[in-house]
Amino acid sequence: MRAPSSLLAGIALAAVAIVGTQQACAQSPDMTRENSNSVSYVKHPDGAYSVYRRGLNEEGKREMVSKTYTSKGELASRNVYFTGKYGHLTACHIFDNKNNLLYKVSYGYDKKARLIEERMFDANAKNEDGSPKVVQRVLYYYDSSGNRSKPVVVNLNTAIPTIRPTMEDNPYNAAAPKPAARPASTPSSR
């Protein structure tokens, strides 16, 4: 069973929210968050909700499991996030409501331990050379003050390729003016 392409963007945003659930809830008056030791609850504006549980798995590795439920209380998806020694995300496995593995996500960091990329792989597809098939990349950039940009989402699903925000968008300041259009030019002959 293939997930709709709109689910890809939602899953990426959910992963971003997990990195900073407290910040996301603080910035959105439509989300509420309750925390009880290693369990967090997030209610979404559409009535859906997510439950996050942190702890050690059977192998003694740190992980966080999130389950998202529809407004009717039906399981929509389950994500298992693996964290490193210092609590940073290292990988994620994304399952549908029937426990089928749909996607795997890896996280990349720079030398300052800042998140710079998320790569989402289709768990059921491979490239011609046998390597995992990347279906989406989420990129982050940092300005000279260390402020992270809005995520730049590159959907590599060939049926619906998208890049958000567009190249004209300023990822650091949404209110910044768009650059002026370049004048039409003719190719020079050499």
Tell me the C-alpha distance between 73 and 41, whole Å.
14
For residue 163, pLDDT over 70 is answered with: no
Note the pLDDT tens digit of each residue in 54-89: 888 888 888 899 999 999 999 999 999 998 888 889
Q: Quote the pLDDT of residue 87.
A: 82
Sign of CA dihedral 77, 83, 87, 90: negative
Distances (CA, A) of 172 to 79, 152, 166, 176: 29, 11, 13, 9
Domains along the sequence of the chain with CATH: 5-164 (2.40.128)
b (16+ CB within 10 A) / e for 92-106:
bbbbbeeeeebbebe
Q: Quote the pLDDT of residue 157.
A: 75
For residue 122, pLDDT over 60 is answered with: yes
Q: Quote the pLDDT of residue 58.
A: 85
Tell me the C-alpha distance between 129 and 123, whole Å.
15
Tokens at 124, concatenated:
């059921």
Tokens at 130, concatenated:
């046998």
Q: What is the mean pLDDT of residues 9-38?
A: 45
For residue 22, pLDDT over 50 is answered with: no
Show the beta-strand stretches assigned E in 20-113.
32-36, 39-43, 49-56, 62-69, 75-83, 89-96, 101-109
Give percent of the chain above pLDDT 70. Answer: 63
Distances (CA, A) of 183 to 28, 170, 180, 186: 41, 21, 9, 10
Q: What is the mean pLDDT of residues 84-102?
A: 91
pTM over 0.85: no
Least confident of 86-95, 106-115, 132-141, 168-177: 168-177
